[in-house]
Structures are given as C-alpha cells and as structure tokens.
C-alpha cells in the first residue's frame, strides 16, 4: 500500500466459484486514499468464470472501472492524481 495522500490505492481479489449453488465467483475490492478506505465492495460476478484466472481477470476489470470512477471524482474536486517521485 502507498501512504501518499493524493494517490488512490486499490486492492482486488476474487474467490473462484465460491457460490456452491450457482458456481459464481465473488469479487472483493478495497480502495484507499491517504490510508483511509473510501470504497469497499464485494459482489457475485455477473458471469460464471470457467477458471480462477478468468475470475481474477473479471475482478481486475471491475476494480479498473471503480478506479476510473474514483479518479474522475477526484479530478472534479481538483485533487491531483500524479505520483510525485
């Protein structure tokens, strides 16, 4: 994780076929800004993944969409998202 105050840190994971009835995987996403959780989301994936790699890829795509949404909000608030080196 990063401790820079203006950088979004997102972590994502998927649990392959964890729903024993419908065999759907679960996506878990957490996003932090300045070390504070600003988004926490778990949900069943809309499609049935055929393997764990596909479930992870679907989860990563969902996390990417959430990142772009959060970044657009921070842009509207004029909070710079460039990482200083």
Distance of CA 45 to the CA centre of its chain: 13
Q: What is the pLDDT along the chain (85 residues), one digit of tens a residue?
A: 455 677 899 999 999 988 788 889 999 999 999 889 999 999 999 999 999 999 999 999 999 999 999 999 999 998 877 765 5
Nearest-angstrom CA–CA distance, 83 and 85: 6
Is residue 8 within 8 A of residue 31, CB to CB? The reply is yes
Nearest-angstrom CA–CA distance, 17 and 49: 7
pLDDT for 70 equals 94
pLDDT for 5 equals 72
Give which of 67, 62, 64 is closest to 44, Cα–Cα: 62
Is residue 61 within 8 A of residue 50, CB to CB? The reply is no
pLDDT for 66 equals 96
């Amino acid at each position: 994780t990063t401790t820079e105050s203006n950088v979004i840190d997102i972590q994502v994971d998927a649990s392959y076929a964890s729903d024993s009835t419908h065999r759907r995987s679960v996506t878990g996403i957490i996003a932090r800004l300045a070390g504070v959780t600003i988004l926490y989301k778990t949900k069943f994936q809309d499609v049935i993944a055929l393997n764990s790699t596909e479930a992870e890829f679907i989860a990563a795509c969902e996390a990417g969409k959430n990142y772009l949404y959060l970044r657009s909000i921070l842009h509207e608030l004029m909070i710079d998202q460039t990482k200083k080196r």
